[in-house]
Amino acid sequence: MPYSRWALAARRFPHVRVAQPPPGGRVFAWGLVILGLGLLAIATAPLGIAGAQTAPATAPVESAPPNGQFGSANFCAPIPCDPGPRKLPPAAGGAMPNLTSTQMGFFTQGQTTFEEVDTVSNGLGPRFNMNSCAGCHAYPAVGGSSPPTNPQAAITGQSIPSFITATGPVREVRFVKNADGTPDGGVHDLFVNPGCGLSQPDFAGALGANNAIFRIPTPTFGAGLIEAIPDATIVANMKASAGQKAGLGISGRTNNSGNDGTVTRFGWKAQNKSLVMFAGEAYNVEQGVTNEVFPNERDICSTQSATPEDFTGNGGAAQSDVTQFGLFMQMLAPPTAQQPNPFTQHGQQVFSQAGCDMCHTPSLTTGPSTIAALSNQKANLYSDLLIHDMGSGLADNISQGGASGNEFRTAPLWGVGQRLFFLHDGRTSDLMEAIQQHASSGSEANQVVGNFNNLNTFDKETLLVFLRSL
């Protein structure tokens, strides 16, 4: 680290004693900095700079981050690394503040239905990936993403595909092409209802032909705030700092409904317009339950039942399951970030200086909403909700809505501090690796990743610590 950086660190972090390195003594000086950081971590423990994690006995135990940790401040020396997911309890999973008693009732009932396990006798199948919404959207709390132990690997009476492992992410698989070479792109469910006379797809053959791509669950925390952001706000943010973005090779565009032209925003490619549509599609695709939004079976069971299986008034319920799912997600509070400290504050500055915030917009403001708790609120989502060309490295060759095979929605970063798997297919648990995977031929992120790679060790590490504070 150049002398000027040591001096800057000393000015910005006055509680850390940073020695000016004498000629040939930088290794010794780095050791003094690490010692200082460790001492500061002890003093700032209430600020939430977490060390190695120990979950409560009733919660899943998180594995250590892939590159290890250094001390209780999670600083890695001499190479910067992902400090790992923040310790439990969850920083998400509760209801939005200031809901009315009626709205809180909707949220509670919706969560109960979201957690409900479907069986063969009450609608599951004929093909499915999981038997409940909360089975996939599980971590760090109900509504999140993949848990540390994959429940798909424990499904009995089925052949478990090779890409589903006990410690890997929950996944769905899509085939890129049909047997005749025409585009496919649809979800091919992992499991079959044993009473339907169906066979599981040939996943081994698809993998061998490079015809299979994967998706992991998108977290739904704060989804109601995302839904309440006006289209005009998204478009205005897209146009802001256009020259600076262009200089970084960033463009981005909205994915729009083919019917009314409004901005769609949910899913890995921002292909779904609303939470109810998102819920209805997932209920049919992931659990095989037909509903009022998607009323037709995707495959015919030999014991075909009347459709839709989920509907308003079913069993005397005032609302359908899909409506309850939508209300639960709409009123699900966003993740709570840690209280800022000198390291996260510096990391946030570096995040901006590198250009990360050109796509991962720190906040957008909602418009007027019939739910007062969502009305005119600042949503700290760290996303522009646009689709961007992410190059050949992340391309999955699947088109959804107006998004091409190279394009993905900017993933919101709120809650990333406790997320276990990253990128659309869950290919890594390492934030450093996830950042590097943003760069490839044709990617809009190439210049920004280059800026990150040119940072010194201290700046890279504080940026990573900042991300894990979200």
Tell me the pLDDT tens digit for each residue of 390-404: 999 999 999 999 999
> What confidence category does residue 120 fall into, taking pLDDT thresholds of 50, 70 and 90?
confident
**Position 39 pLDDT exceeds 90:** no
Considering the entire predicted model, what is its pTM?
0.85
What residues pair up with 407 in beta bridges, in sequence order?
A: 389
Looking at 106-110, 128-132, 297-301, 346-350, which range is the least confident one?
297-301
**Separation CA 176–CA 301 (nearest Å):** 25
Q: In this predicted model, which residue has the larger pLDDT, 245 or 74?
A: 245
Q: How far is CA 158 from the centre of its chain?
A: 28
Residue-wise pLDDT tens digits, 139-162:
999 999 999 999 999 998 899 999
Q: What is the pLDDT of residue 304?
A: 74
Q: What is the pLDDT of residue 255?
A: 98
The answer to whether 146 touches 303, Cβ cutoff 8 Å, is: no
**Separation CA 455–CA 50 (nearest Å):** 24
**Separation CA 73–CA 79 (nearest Å):** 15
Percent of the chain with pLDDT over 90: 76
Q: What is the pLDDT of residue 273?
A: 96
- What tokens appear for 196 in the block? 């339907």
Looking at 55-59, 86-90, 192-196, 239-243, which range is the least confident one?
55-59
Report, as an integer, the average pLDDT of 269-274: 97
Q: What is the pLDDT of residue 52?
A: 27
Report, as an integer, the average pLDDT of 60-87: 57
Q: What is the pLDDT of residue 315?
A: 83
**Separation CA 436–CA 122 (nearest Å):** 45
Written as one string, the DSSP assignment of 150-165 is: -GGGG-SSSPPPTT--
**Position 25 pLDDT exceeds 80:** no
Domain locations in the chain as residue ranges? 101-220+282-330
Q: What is the pLDDT of residue 9?
A: 43
Burial 299-331 (b: 16+ CB within 10 A, else e): eebeeeeebbbbbeeeeeeebbbbbbbbbbbbb
Report, as an integer, the average pLDDT of 265-271: 98
Report, as an integer, the average pLDDT of 82-100: 96
The answer to whether 173 touches 214, Cβ cutoff 8 Å, is: yes
Residue-wise pLDDT tens digits, 194-241:
888 899 999 999 999 999 999 999 999 999 999 999 999 999 999 999
